[in-house]
Structure 1
Amino acid sequence: MYLMDKLQLIAPPFLRSLPRVENMSTERQLNGNDKSGAIFTINDSPSEQDSRAREEDEELLDITRPFPDLPGQRDEPAQLTIRALIVGTVLGAVVSASNMYLCLKTGWTFGASLFGAILGFAILKPSSVYLPKFLGGGHYFGPRENVAVQSIATGAGSLSILFEGAVPALYRLNLMSPTPRQDFWRLITFTAVCAFYGCFFGVALRKFYIIRLKGIFPTPTATAVTIRSLHAAGLAGDAMRKARVLVGTFIGACLFKTGSVYAPGILWDWNIFYWIYKTTSWKSAIVASNWGWYIELTPAFFGVGMLTGLNVGLSYLAGSVVAWGIIGPATLRTGLTFGVPNKKNPDIVSYKSLDLADPVNEPSARYFLLWPGLMILMCATFTEVAMNAPALWKGLKLVAASSARRLPNSRRFERTKADADAYLLRGDQEDDDPAPPSERVPKWMWASGVSLTMFFTCLVLGLQYDMNVGLSILAVILGFLFSCIATQSAATADIAPASYCGKASQLVFGGVTSPGHYSLHDKQLVNLVGGIVATGAAAQSTDMVSDLRTGYLLGASHRAQFYGQVCGSFVAVWLSVGLFLLFTTAYPCILDASIEECSFSTPALGAWVAVAEAITLSSLPIPPVSGYLAVAFGALAIVVVYARYHLFPKSWLTWVPNLSVFGLAFMVPTTQYAIAMAAGAVVAHAWRRRWQRSYARNGYAVPAGLIAGEGIGGLVAALLEVTGVGGTAYGSGIGCVGGTYCG
């Protein structure tokens, strides 16, 4: 499960309920709050029939090297099978649709690896036993083919990050055609540019970060342990029970979301303060409603809270309280921000507008708070990376030394090669790749893939976006550098700040284009397009290396994984563009800032637009007081992150706010997601403390089903909207603010 870096969601509490592993020391504990080593323990097999799984759970697993095979595990010569491709692609499509819905809502995305691993097992393990051969049965389904399934699912579901804010920003700034439908092929080729760097960079980075540096990669490690546990139990009770729970919650959440669009004011949004305003004499209650304080019965964000735990859930709620309960009303009271009254009822006021005639002198509260939120996010994320700088520096030195060894044999490079050899020899000698040559990806394969993709990048960006070859190559180089940074961060802290690497690339392109004879249109186009390429490469690389880490632990063929990732990425190109067109057609407010009320708050869109405008406009479009607050909060974020690593005792860390999530709350102009996440976190915490075995079995399955279910329900709702039979046509506004339909 990942946080919007996408802040990627810090490895959740349910990971503590996985089979015991040793040597699990990282820069911080997997819940993001503890720097101590972590030993994960579980006893989740209470029945006699699961004794074999229980014995397996008690085995100590050394996560610095491949796990031993399970008793009775067969050889799997064909790991990338037709059935794995079909199931992995379908599961990846589910995750992609869920992520498109969730990231347009709040910028959060949901990782495909654990979802693909569990449901892949649930589908293919029984079918391998009970179905006839022509339907994929009769063939052994083991952990390594399971890895292939989740790799394909990850590839197919991993491009949503491009559409959470970066691509919509191109439309918000009028840099593309009026509607995405007119740009279908342009979007396809551009998405294809970003889709495959991760596959090729991931293979190139595998040996450095997985074998030489022995990166922990907490979430991929949890996926490997989960797959091993599932296959240890086979078709026994716990393994299939976990899958049934996931499927059941998925179906329930999907049906609930789909049905709620016809009565959103009753089934989905509980506007309690507005109801009080309408039914009692306490008319001032409308103020709380105007500032976005209401309850939403969202399964997805309740599930997100269950996965992320108390620290993240309460940090998000605290950020909402500070932003929309204290600072926002204070700026309105002092005349720093302004609202837009409803034409029918002046008591109802909106503070969410981003379509402003004078954003510096007459900003909305949403625009005012955007800058402090963005500064908190960037400062907190990059400080997290800086706190892991020693490991990052070691990784970069290994990359440089290994590259230096391949220099030509000449007197000119003799000293450099000798120094590189000496440095590498000082390192760990047990860094040989355990994979046989037949299961490795040859260097010529990934190198030629990078070369062809670079050529395609230069061609597409040159013909469709008027970017010269130098700028296109710069985007690829930045993408590779940020891939190294994001992968190292994911390996040590389980955070992959790909989206904020994108913001850094925007700064680079802003500097490159500032002295040239570029129009404002061209500056903003280069700024966003270059940032998208770098972001896509970094995000994909992190996902792919993480998948290769899972395969490494389970002894899977990384060549089979590579092929699966390429196949999944090819599907993702068409899938992600199609989903983006569907959602923007059903909900035009996603791209049109003049539409005040929208079901999708798109906070990442505001961040991309803000950075692009700040870098390219002649004067900063930032309200002065907002800028001062941004600097103050940015400094506070740096201090708090540093203190969490070096000053606070371990017992305090659960209660030290997660500043990345705290800042995100400033950028989401309503509070219902924070309330839902905090509620989910509290429920999961109580569940884990009171019913530990039950939580160990279902602590991931329940929230994963809720998240994916609402995402697919949102997709169905969008399809109903496009076909004219959705909530807008047939839904009721009863219970909604102002009696206006709010679905």
Structure 2
Amino acid sequence: MAPPIPHGRSFTVRGVAVGLAVGTVICAANVYFGLQTGWVSIMSMPASLMGFGIFKLLSRHLSFPFSPVENVLVQSVACGMAIMPLGCGLVGVVPAMTYLLAPEERGPIDLSIWQLIVWSVGLCYFGAVFAVPLRRQVIIRERLRFPSGFSTAVLISVLHGSGRQSQKDLDAAAEGSFASLVPRDEPLLSPEASSPERADDDPEEDPQDKNHNWASNMRLLLLCFLASGLYTISTYFFPILRNLPIFGSVAAKTWMWTLNPSFAYIGQGIIMGAETTLHMTLGAVVGWAVLSPLAKAKGWAPGPVGEWETGSKGWIVWVSLAIMLVDAVVSLAYIALHPIIGKQTTALVTRIRNKIRQSRLGRLLGLDSHNYTLLPNGDGAAASQRVSTDDPTYESPLKGDPEGDAPPDQRVGKKVVSIGLVLSILICVLTTHIVFGNLVPLYATIIAVFMALVLSIMGVRALGETDLNPVSGISKLAQLFFALIIPQSHKSSVLINLVAGAVGALQAGDLMQDLKTGHLLGAAPKAQFWGQIIGATAGAVLSAFIYRLYTMVYEIPGELFPVPTAYVWIFTARLVTGKGLPYMVKEWAIGAGALFAVATLIRTFSAGKPWRPWVPGGIAVAVGMYNVPSFTLARAIGGVFGWYWVHVMKRSNTPLIIIASGFILGEGFLSIVNLILEGLQVPHL
């Protein structure tokens, strides 16, 4: 029998075009927020929502319906663009080299626009290519959850009117029990059901209610977008709105305790959740209300509080850096060793159990019985034998089952992966040499690329299990590794350390969320792969242009764009290359590192426990410490609001996603208006 014809076109020109349009908005927002706070998000659910909205508006002019698998393509292209500001180092490494690298460290390195583009293009490919073989392992065989990818799949299913799965089925899919939300030969949305002419034939759903829900959601998104955008433009004329002295003028001027009531930061807090934002708030309190006054009073940081070099603002960054490093080492060590230790532990338990069963006590208790019961099928005939899963040789029939993956013609071929991986590595090495010349040895770049591939495996697994991509921790581990192989006496040791840390395949983790979404909805992995490649290319070029625009118009580092992650990068490079620490930082960093090593271990081994959220997360606390309180407090407001909406008001998550998306995209996109006003030197009020 011929294979069923898959519903929907997985790769279309119109889908790519809409994905590029949506990705442009998110990419511009990520450059803006990345330079401000270091926060970057691929925003897969907003991308799917906006793609659906655009095609809904154009539905009367479409030659064929917009299907869920085409929505996956839109999302893949958009997310491939969205991750590029971070993946190309434009919100951390590049500002560090340009503005913070001292002359004795072979700096500053002022890259021209063409150098930025060449550098960005060189970094954008091998993460996407390397995601292909990793997909087979972590999505098809191990069936890791990838919570954001699963949530996006459910959202797309609901948007396209096919969210008819029971909650039990959705939960089972989330846990990896099902290969996909629907069988691949049973489309989520048939052509007839997606056609406007057949909408009235569905007795279970009123088309007017469906259109009303869609229209109300789009109005909510547009309203939040405009509200956030208008607030952003008003902050240009009234800069005080970004730093409200809610705790008094002394706390604001002396200790930098202000509030930036940005709609976008509130939206980011909604997406992050109450647990993460409250842990960030804890970091802000410890850093800015305890350590900062203490360092100032003791004379450890004698300069003004807001100074990075001599003030307590720079002093507490070292402590936060220690927390991030410890959290990364402990978490990634667990992820790397867990499969080995877990298998050995399982085998040991199995052997002990078998010995007990074969012992005299086991025979007395009847534990040695291995009755393989015949299970009747619906006709009363023997269907199959029950296999004892206690047998160490037992392997689930679902594991590695080809039927759980896409058909062979929809997958990316091994030849394409092999050639693509080699070419992407060569491009990365070549472009790095073109941009930095002899400042960065060729062998260092080659080592950095292969180390990035290894570290990205840990990042992908961490994202699949926890929904957190430990980009900061992994990059710091890369810097630490290079400090061991590059002599400290080398004149370019700090620069080499920065470049080596920036060369990474970390976007493979975020792109894996999209591949999880596509797998659940039956999209073709080949279409997603080429969509991600197109999006990454466009995102690399666009990010470089937008970054150059911001650096030409604004003072960086400055009040609006303090680029905190750039300081984290440069401080890490100086630390691991032996450039010295401020007074008394070593003692406090060791203490904080030891404390959070214990906290991270507790969080790691208490997954699923109700009390786990009360144990502070190292990365969240560290981010709250190195960002000024004005950013953190606004995010905490969003996190608490989201918790209240869901747990107290018992409302759906969908409006929250829409509100947060509108808030973030409104400021991120309309900040371009402020950029134009600043370039034209329009006076502030």
SS at match of 1:270: coil
Task: State the partner residue of 2:389.
Answer: none
Q: C-alpha displacement at 1:322, in angstroms?
A: 1.3
2:164 is the counterpart of 1:207: no
Q: Distance in 2 between matches of 1:149 and 1:156?
A: 11
Please point out which of 151, 161, 172 is paired with 1:232: 161
Q: Which residue in 2 is equivalent to 1:26?
A: none
- Change over 3 Å in CA distance of 1:649–1:427 after alignment to 2: closer
SS at match of 1:496: coil
**CA offset at residue 177 of structure 1?**
8.0
Question: In the alignment, residue 524 of structure 2 is paired with which amino acid?
Answer: S
| Aligned pairs for 1:169-248 within 5 A | 169-171=96-98, 172-173=100-101, 180=110, 183-232=112-161, 236-248=211-223
Matching residue's letter, 1:331? A
> Residue 193 of structure 1 contacts residue 533 of structure 1 at CA under 8 Å; is this kept in 2?
no
CA distances 1:169-226 after superposition (whole Å, capped 9, x unpaired): 111205788685x521111111111100112101121101111111110111111111
How many residues align? The count is 581
In structure 2, what is the Cα distance between the partners aligned to 1:442 and 1:646?
Answer: 39
Task: Check whether the contact 2:9–2:69 (CA below 8 A) recurs between aligned residues.
Answer: no
Cα distance between partner residues in 1 of 2:54 and 2:412: 29
Residue by residue, what CA displacement relative to the aligned partner does 1:424-479 show, whole Å, maximum 9, x if unpaired? 99565542342112211111112111111222223222333224443222111111
Query: 2:296 — aligned with what?
Result: 332
Q: 1:519 to 1:176 in 2, by over 3 A?
A: closer
Deviation at 1:259, TM superposition (A): 2.2
- After superposition, the Cα gap between the structure-2 partners of 1:206 and 1:178, relative to the gap in structure 1 and judged at 3 Å, is same
Deviates more, 1:378-387 or 1:169-178: 169-178
Assess if the C-alpha contact under 8 Å between 1:548 and 1:558 holds in 2. Answer: yes
Where in structure 2 are the equivalents of 1:6-85 lying within 5 Å? Answer: 75-76=6-7, 78-85=9-16
What is the aligned partner in structure 1 of residue 327 from structure 2? 380
Residue in structure 2 matching 1:603, options 560, 564, 573 = 564
Q: Bigger shift: 558-567 or 682-691?
A: 682-691
- The structural deviation recorded for 1:630 is 0.7
Pairing 1:270–2:229 present: no
Match of 1:477 among 417, 431, 450: 450
Q: Is 1:664 aligned with 2:623?
A: yes
Say if 1:301 and 1:677, in contact at 8 Å, map to a contact too.
yes
Match for residue 50 of structure 1? none
Task: Give the conservation status (yes or no) of the 8 Å contact 1:385–1:489.
Answer: yes
Q: Give the distance between the partners of 2:230 and 2:47, measured in 1 at CA.
A: 21
Q: 1:273 to 1:646 in 2, by over 3 A?
A: closer
Alignment partner, residue 60 of structure 2 = 130
Q: Could you say which residue in structure 1 is the equivalent of 2:44? A: 113
Q: Which amino acid aligns with 2:494?
A: Q
**Which structure has the bigger radius of gyration?**
2
SS at match of 1:256: helix
Single out whichever of 377-386 and 93-102 deviates more from structure 2.
Answer: 377-386
1:281-680 pair list within 5 angstroms? 285-340=249-304, 351-354=305-308, 356=309, 363-389=310-336, 391=338, 393=340, 426=395, 429-433=398-402, 434-465=405-436, 466=438, 467-514=440-487, 519-520=490-491, 522-534=492-504, 537-538=505-506, 540-590=507-557, 598-617=559-578, 620-646=579-605, 650-668=609-627, 670-680=628-638
Structure 1 residues 76 and 720, CA, compared in 2 at 3 Å: closer, same or farther? farther
> Whole-Å Cα distance in 1 between the matches of residues 642 and 575 of structure 2?
41
Once the two structures are superposed, what CA deviation does each residue of 1:215-260 show, in whole Å capped at 9, x if it has no partner?
1101111111110111126753334433332232112211210122
CA distance in 2 between partners of 1:396 and 1:609 (Å) = 40
Q: Which amino acid aligns with 1:657?
A: P
Q: Distance in 2 between matches of 1:92 and 1:259?
A: 25
The separation in 2 between residues aligned to 1:336 and 1:448, in whole angstroms, is: 54
CA contact (8 A) 1:373 1:663 kept: yes
State the distance in 2 between where 1:371 and 1:83 align.
Answer: 48
> Helix, strand or coil for the counterpart of 2:419?
helix
RMSD: 2.6
Question: Aligned residue for 2:374?
Answer: none
Residue identity over aligned pairs, in percent, reads 28
1:103 shift after superposition: 1.5
2: distance between equivalents of 1:437 and 1:462?
38
The one-letter amino acid of 1:692's match is K
Deviation by residue 1:568-621 (Cα, 9 ceiling, x = unmatched): 01101111101111111122222xxxxxx521222211111011112334xx42
Q: 1:463 to 1:425 in 2, by over 3 A?
A: farther
Q: Once the 2 structures are TM-superposed, how far is the Cα of residue 77 of structure 1 from its aligned partner?
A: 5.2
Cα distance, 1:690 vs. partner? 4.0
Q: Which amino acid aligns with 1:640?
A: A
CA contact (8 A) 1:153 1:568 kept: yes
Kindly indicate whether residue 651 of structure 2 is the aligned counterpart of residue 707 of structure 1.
no
TM-score, normalised relative to structure 2: 0.80
CA contact (8 A) 2:553 2:679 kept: yes
Compute the displacement of 1:81 (Å): 1.3
* Other structure's SS at 2:584 match: helix
Per the alignment, residue 717 of structure 1 pairs with 674
CA contact (8 A) 2:73 2:528 kept: yes
Paired with 1:331 and 1:468, the residues of 2 have a C-alpha distance of 39
Secondary structure, counterpart of 1:635 in structure 2: helix
Counterpart code for 1:610: F
Instruction: Give the distance between the partners of 1:394 and 1:528, measured in 2 at CA.
Output: 34
Going from structure 1 to structure 2, the CA distance change for 1:524 and 1:160 (only over 3 Å counts) comes to same
- SS of the residue corresponding to residue 599 of structure 1 reads coil
Q: Please tell me whether residue 152 in structure 1 is matched to residue 77 in structure 2.
A: yes
Rounded to whole Å, the distance in 2 between the matches of 1:247 and 1:80 is 28
Change (3 A) 1:493 1:437: same
**Aligned counterparts of 1:395 and 1:712: Cα–Cα separation in 2:** 46
